[in-house]
């Protein structure tokens, strides 16, 4: 389990699903230039993707007041950026199939974590800057993808129990990953996105979450926002009193409204607890 082996694993991965590649090209000019009719036609051409998106948006995680019965309705209600994230998430999960048990959670809970991270970005930061919240929401949904690669390495090495035990005693998830692999799951996520020619800014943001990176000065705020989100919601703590408090300290350091953040985090926490019963 080393960095070179991880890079080799990523390099051997096939391209994203054809539908996702087409969707990614539609977004190449920016969200504001998306042709919504073209997007809907492309989505509707992939039955399995449509079924997956409708299943997710109608799940308790989204708590929508009405049943979503069509992709057009989903795009209208959730916005094109959220749909972009869902399409990418579906494609990634189909290519990088992994047992996430080394991180101490089930695949279902891991999926919940990703959606909750995206929700926290959307609901919290849209009160501060809607454009930034829209931009980061799909990234937050897939920013844990690197853990799928690392989990595969751990399973292949038959080190599940050892990794999980040491992780449970570690205070810093990324630091522990770095001790084991010589890199963090977020940097690996950046390498994944780079391999698939996804948004270069997303690549820079992920690579900058745990390490100094040459483009970091241009994306400091984006990195800080996602750092707060992963502190509040992660594989060890999902919006616990401790994780919300720690994230709130980071919010205060950046000069954002702490009460607004805590209210949003606690609302999402209560909705998730209620849905999990």
* Contact by Cβ (8 Å): 71, 19: no
Q: Alpha helix locations (H) across the chain?
A: 3-11, 18-26, 36-44, 47-57, 71-78, 80-95, 107-125, 130-142, 146-156, 160-169, 173-181, 185-195, 200-208, 220-232, 241-253, 258-276
Position 105 scores a pLDDT of 95
Q: Tell me: the pLDDT tens digits for 71-117?
A: 999 988 888 888 889 999 999 999 998 899 999 999 999 999 999 99
Distances from the Cα of 82 to the Cα of 85, 115, 141, 182, angstroms: 5, 10, 9, 32
pTM given for the model: 0.91
Tokens of 171: 């205070």
Tokens of 232: 């509040």
Cα–Cα distance between 20 and 89 in angstroms, integer? 10
Position 218 scores a pLDDT of 63
Cα–Cα distance between 258 and 242 in angstroms, integer? 15
Q: Tell me: the pLDDT tens digits for 194-203?
A: 999 998 999 9
Tokens of 97: 């199939």
Fold of 3-276: Hypothetical protein af1432 (1.10.3210)
For residue 191, which phi and psi values (nearest 5 degrees)? -65, -40
Per-domain residue ranges of the chain? 3-276
């Amino acid at each position: 389990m080393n960095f070179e082996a991880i890079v080799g694993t990523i390099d051997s991965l096939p391209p994203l699903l054809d539908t996702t590649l087409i969707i990614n090209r539609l977004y190449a000019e920016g969200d504001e230039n998306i042709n919504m009719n073209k997007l809907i036609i492309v989505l509707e051409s992939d039955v399995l993707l449509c079924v997956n998106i409708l299943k997710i948006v109608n799940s308790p995680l989204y708590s929508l007041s009405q049943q979503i019965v069509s992709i057009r309705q989903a795009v209208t209600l959730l916005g094109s950026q959220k749909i972009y994230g869902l399409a990418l998430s579906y494609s990634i999960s189909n290519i990088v199939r992994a047992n996430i048990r080394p991180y101490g959670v089930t695949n279902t809970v891991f999926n919940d974590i990703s959606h909750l991270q995206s929700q926290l970005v959307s609901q919290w930061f849209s009160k501060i800057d809607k454009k930034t919240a829209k931009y980061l929401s799909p990234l937050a949904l897939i920013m844990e993808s690197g853990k799928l690669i690392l989990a595969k390495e751990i399973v292949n090495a038959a080190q599940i129990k050892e990794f999980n035990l040491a992780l449970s005693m570690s205070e810093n998830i990324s630091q522990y990953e770095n001790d084991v692999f010589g890199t963090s799951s977020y940097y690996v996520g950046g390498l994944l996105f780079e391999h698939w020619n996804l948004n270069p800014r997303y690549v820079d943001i992920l690579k900058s979450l745990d390490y100094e990176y040459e483009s970091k000065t241009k994306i400091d705020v984006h990195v800080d926002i996602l750092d707060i989100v992963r502190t509040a919601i992660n594989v060890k703590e999902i919006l616990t009193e401790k994780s919300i408090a720690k994230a709130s300290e980071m919010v205060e350091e950046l000069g954002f409204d702490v009460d607004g953040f805590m209210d949003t985090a606690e609302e999402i926490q209560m909705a998730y607890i209620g849905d999990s019963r």
